[in-house]
Amino acid sequence: MAEMKVKPQRVKDFCVCALEKAGMASDDARIAAEVLVTADMRGTATHGTIGLRGYIRQIREGGMNPKADIEIVREGQTWAVVDGHAGLGVVTSFKAAQLAIAKAKSNTVGMVWVKNSNHFAAAGYYAMMCAEADMIGLAMTNADISLSAPGSAGRVIGNNAFAYGAPAGAAPPVNLDIAMGVVAGGKVHAAAREGRSIPMGWAIDSQGVLTTDPKKYEEEGGATVPLAAHKGFGLALLIEILAGVMTGGGIRTELKSYAHNPESPSGIGHFFMAIDIGTIMPIEEFRIRMDGLITGISSSPKAQGVDRIYLPGEMEYEREEKTNTEGFVLDDGALNNLKGLAQDLGLEDEGFWHQ
Amino acid sequence: MAEMKVKPQRVKDFCVCALEKAGMASDDARIAAEVLVTADMRGTATHGTIGLRGYIRQIREGGMNPKADIEIVREGQTWAVVDGHAGLGVVTSFKAAQLAIAKAKSNTVGMVWVKNSNHFAAAGYYAMMCAEADMIGLAMTNADISLSAPGSAGRVIGNNAFAYGAPAGAAPPVNLDIAMGVVAGGKVHAAAREGRSIPMGWAIDSQGVLTTDPKKYEEEGGATVPLAAHKGFGLALLIEILAGVMTGGGIRTELKSYAHNPESPSGIGHFFMAIDIGTIMPIEEFRIRMDGLITGISSSPKAQGVDRIYLPGEMEYEREEKTNTEGFVLDDGALNNLKGLAQDLGLEDEGFWHQ
């Protein structure tokens, strides 16, 4: 695959330019650029700028309002319910997480439920915002249905995502970002596109039988499988309750995918929560205890052939630090996606890709 | 295996009697009996009265104080840090969950961190207390180390447990209760005791290599495996942060098991959280939306040979309803355990087992 090394700021500039062209205000476009390019820099490009072309298609086809702002529809001291008005999920979520952090700063805990949002890319970003504010942060989203439940033949719930973040002292913040499926639907799509089979355990066919044929997931009403069977299903359901039921927004089959239904608002909901650590325990004590926990684990005996035990988010943290100075690599797929978007928008001569 | 059908109230009476003999006040003993027998009634006997003999051994050997009460060491409107003073984890947790519920009733959310506790049996019970109070409830505990991390050769973290509960309308409350390992350590112990091999994927040996030999987990510094690799490890770590780091209590290797170290307080921590639904959304609206979510899933097409799709806790809810009127079956192991305890305490002639 062709690859190209790019400077983070150049890619951010391009994202801002593209979103402005699509009708978004500069401040919001800068938020989106920051969130998406950070995912690329952390080595999680599946949730980075690769989504931008699809988001802008959703704007152009009417499913997303680039000028939407968040509206607080109900609130208390420690919580708010927010309407995203079908804006870019990344911007809506950034603002909602900021609101949770502000409430936690004043009242120890902040919980923000968001309805009428769209795809919010990497859940981990919003949890890290909390960690950077010396808080424990949770971020969750529901999604269009793709997972089975134990005993179901088809799709019954989204590959709902969960992230948390917590600061440490000398060690990097801990940051886990996971979805509740054994595998991301995108990996099954890729296998189908490339004519490869998939490992047994990833997906079921329309009869509920495990299959190695990715087309049975794609074309014939199959589903991907929740991690650890009833455990992953049960966790996906908790996210559906918090991000769907409690927000008053879309649930299960009411949700759309921006990739398949760009003409529709996706109807996605999120839940953000921040807990201000310093109110509960002196933050320096917390940092020392976190470092002890982290060092205790990372210095444990390693399995044969293993050099390091990584804590959640540690690898991504190091990649981000490195790419900040050295730039990062966009692979063929990500690069062609951005080039295609540039072409869509008549931006191809702007020279964003030259170092 | 020999089995015996018993009336729940008889078993509760026995538990109360046994705990009183061990020095516990009647009110606390009744709480413990309720929590433990409910686990038996729900068909989760691994977290029920089978633990009682070990708990009482821990009292007699000095690791547990049967007269301990919870002490609030720090608190705010929405939160408290509680010292369990090495009391019975089940009683401490019941009171801590009550405190979280009371705080949520007044201030929408209640978070209670507990340190210096002991084994708390079924996490799901405390989450269900919240659901019965029309709240979303979370309950978590850390535990002595038994799980590996991806890349580790030995045990680095506990098989930490997580539960949530949420009420519904016509449908039973949703109640998930899971630990972060692929399998409970007890199942590996049982295989070792009975000379059976274990499925590949449950455990690693002391070199970090997957093994089918349960003795390599038990005797030679092996570990069980977290569910979905880094996902289960990352979730176990979140629980360790909330139940260990934030409580100011024991972390990782500081924790003991009541089964192996009855002479020591186990140093376990818990985290309970309750969110009062009615403040965020009218409770009737929430119930209707929950019923819609649940019915949508349970009425989905079934896999070949499957009659029903169960929601988390649904099977347990139905079992509890049934055993309330019909009594429940204690299998050989559970029955001998209780009989042994009766003998320990000179209670063998009290006739608790006769219908």
| Cβ contacts of B310 on chain A, cutoff 8 Å | 150-151
Taking the C-alpha atoms of residue A13 and residue B281, their distance in angstroms, rounded to an integer, is 41
Contact across the interface for B309 and A107, Cβ inside 8 Å:
no
Q: Does any CB of chain B come closer than 8 Å to the CB of residue A2?
A: no
Contact B307, B295 (CB under 8 A): no
Q: Does any CB of chain A come closer than 8 Å to the CB of residue B190?
A: no
Contact across the interface for B300 and A228, Cβ inside 8 Å:
no
Write down the pLDDT at residue B316. 97
6-45 in B: which are within 8 Å (CB) of A?
none
Kindly report the CA angle at B84 between B79 and B88, in degrees rounded to 5?
Answer: 130
Contact A115, A82 (CB under 8 A): yes
Look up residue A320 and give its DSSP letter.
Answer: H
201-220 in B: which are within 8 Å (CB) of A?
204, 206-209
The pTM of this model reads 0.97
| Cβ contacts of B173 on chain A, cutoff 8 Å | none
Look up residue B302 and give its DSSP letter.
Answer: B
| Cβ contacts of A253 on chain B, cutoff 8 Å | 296
Write down the pLDDT at residue B325. 86
- Asked if pLDDT for residue B100 goes beyond 70, the answer is yes
Contact across the interface for A310 and B151, Cβ inside 8 Å:
yes
Write down the pLDDT at residue A4. 74
- Residue range B2-13, pLDDT digits in tens: 567 889 999 999
Q: How far is CA B214 from the centre of its chain?
A: 24
In chain B, DSSP finds a helix count (H) and a strand count (E) of 12, 14
Q: At what angle do helices A89-107 and A123-132 cross, to 10 degrees?
A: 30
The tokens for A245 are: 């039921």
Q: What share of chain A is helix, strand, coil (3-state, %, to 5)?
A: 45, 20, 35
- Asked if pLDDT for residue A355 goes beyond 80, the answer is no
| Cβ contacts of B107 on chain A, cutoff 8 Å | 77-78
Give the range among A180-184, A185-189, B49-53, B272-276 with minimum mean pLDDT: A185-189
Taking the C-alpha atoms of residue B175 and residue B2, their distance in angstroms, rounded to an integer, is 31
Residue A76: exposure state from Cβ atoms within 10 A (0-12, 13-18, ≥19): middle
**A94 to chain B, minimum CA–CA distance in Å?**
21
Taking the C-alpha atoms of residue B268 and residue B252, their distance in angstroms, rounded to an integer, is 9
The count of CB pairs under 8 A between chains A and B is: 227
Taking the C-alpha atoms of residue A234 and residue A215, their distance in angstroms, rounded to an integer, is 27
Taking the C-alpha atoms of residue B167 and residue B282, their distance in angstroms, rounded to an integer, is 13
Give percent of chain B above pLDDT 70: 97
Contact A8, A41 (CB under 8 A): yes
Write down the pLDDT at residue A128. 98
Closest-CA residue to A38 (of A115, A93, A114, A84)? A93
Write down the pLDDT at residue B166. 99
- Residue range B291-320, pLDDT digits in tens: 999 999 999 999 999 999 999 999 999 999
Q: Chain B residue with minimal CA distance to A307?
A: B151
Contact across the interface for B244 and A293, Cβ inside 8 Å:
yes
**Average pLDDT, integer, range A18-27:** 97
Contact across the interface for B246 and A136, Cβ inside 8 Å:
yes
| Cβ contacts of A182 on chain B, cutoff 8 Å | 228
| Cβ contacts of B182 on chain A, cutoff 8 Å | 228
Write down the pLDDT at residue A9. 93
Taking the C-alpha atoms of residue A294 and residue A170, their distance in angstroms, rounded to an integer, is 10
User: What is the residue-averaged pLDDT of chain A?
Assistant: 95
Taking the C-alpha atoms of residue B109 and residue A77, their distance in angstroms, rounded to an integer, is 10
- Asked if pLDDT for residue A349 goes beyond 80, the answer is no
- Asked if pLDDT for residue B355 goes beyond 60, the answer is no
- Asked if pLDDT for residue B289 goes beyond 90, the answer is yes
**Average pLDDT, integer, range B82-88:** 98
Contact across the interface for B78 and A293, Cβ inside 8 Å:
no
Write down the pLDDT at residue B122. 97
Give the range among A217-221, B26-30, B95-99, B121-125 with minimum mean pLDDT: A217-221
Write down the pLDDT at residue B265. 98
Taking the C-alpha atoms of residue A95 and residue A89, their distance in angstroms, rounded to an integer, is 10
Give percent of chain B above pLDDT 90: 88
Per the DSSP assignment, residues forming a β-bridge with A141 are A161, A270
Q: Does any CB of chain B come closer than 8 Å to the CB of residue A283?
A: no
Q: Does any CB of chain A come closer than 8 Å to the CB of residue B113?
A: yes
Contact A312, A302 (CB under 8 A): no
| Cβ contacts of A311 on chain B, cutoff 8 Å | 237
- At B352, the pLDDT band (50, 70, 90 cuts) reads low
| Cβ contacts of B160 on chain A, cutoff 8 Å | none
Give the range among A118-127, A321-330, B112-121 with minimum mean pLDDT: A321-330
**A223 to chain B, minimum CA–CA distance in Å?**
11
- Asked if pLDDT for residue B227 goes beyond 60, the answer is yes
Contact across the interface for A234 and B79, Cβ inside 8 Å:
no
Contact across the interface for B301 and A153, Cβ inside 8 Å:
yes
Q: Chain A residue with minimal CA distance to B311?
A: A234
Q: Does any CB of chain B come closer than 8 Å to the CB of residue A191?
A: no
| Cβ contacts of B78 on chain A, cutoff 8 Å | 78, 107-109
| Cβ contacts of A232 on chain B, cutoff 8 Å | 228
ipTM above 0.85, yes or no: yes
Look up residue A284 and give its DSSP letter.
Answer: H
Q: Chain A residue with minimal CA distance to B154?
A: A301
Contact across the interface for B309 and A111, Cβ inside 8 Å:
no
Contact across the interface for B302 and A107, Cβ inside 8 Å:
no
The tokens for B299 are: 């009425």
Length of chain A: 355
**Average pLDDT, integer, range A10-23:** 95
Contact A347, A18 (CB under 8 A): yes
Instruction: Specify the amino acid at residue A175.
Output: N
Write down the pLDDT at residue B351. 61
Per the DSSP assignment, residues forming a β-bridge with A162 are A140, A178
The dihedrals phi and psi of A87, each to the nearest 5 degrees, come to -80, 180
User: What is the residue-averaged pLDDT of chain B?
Assistant: 95
Burial A12-43 (b: 16+ CB within 10 A, else e): bbbbbbbbbbbebeeebbbbbbbbbbbbbbbb
- Residue range B233-264, pLDDT digits in tens: 999 999 999 999 999 999 999 999 999 999 99
Q: Does any CB of chain B come closer than 8 Å to the CB of residue A317?
A: no
Contact across the interface for A111 and B109, Cβ inside 8 Å:
yes
Write down the pLDDT at residue A232. 98
Q: Chain B residue with minimal CA distance to A242?
A: B136
Write down the pLDDT at residue B353. 61
Contact across the interface for A227 and B228, Cβ inside 8 Å:
yes
- Asked if pLDDT for residue A22 goes beyond 90, the answer is yes
| Per-position DSSP letters for B26-83, written without gaps between them | HHHHHHHHHHHHHHHHTT-GGGTGGGHHHHHHHHHHTS--TT---EEEEE-SSEEEEE
**Average pLDDT, integer, range B97-117:** 98
Q: Does any CB of chain B come closer than 8 Å to the CB of residue A104?
A: no
Contact across the interface for A78 and B76, Cβ inside 8 Å:
no
- Asked if pLDDT for residue B111 goes beyond 90, the answer is yes
Write down the pLDDT at residue A163. 98
Contact B59, B19 (CB under 8 A): no
Per the DSSP assignment, residues forming a β-bridge with B111 are B79, B273
Write down the pLDDT at residue A302. 97
The dihedrals phi and psi of A70, each to the nearest 5 degrees, come to -75, 145
Contact across the interface for B76 and A310, Cβ inside 8 Å:
no
Q: Does any CB of chain A come closer than 8 Å to the CB of residue B243?
A: no
Contact across the interface for A235 and B154, Cβ inside 8 Å:
no
Q: Does any CB of chain A come closer than 8 Å to the CB of residue B111?
A: yes
Q: Chain B residue with minimal CA distance to A249?
A: B289
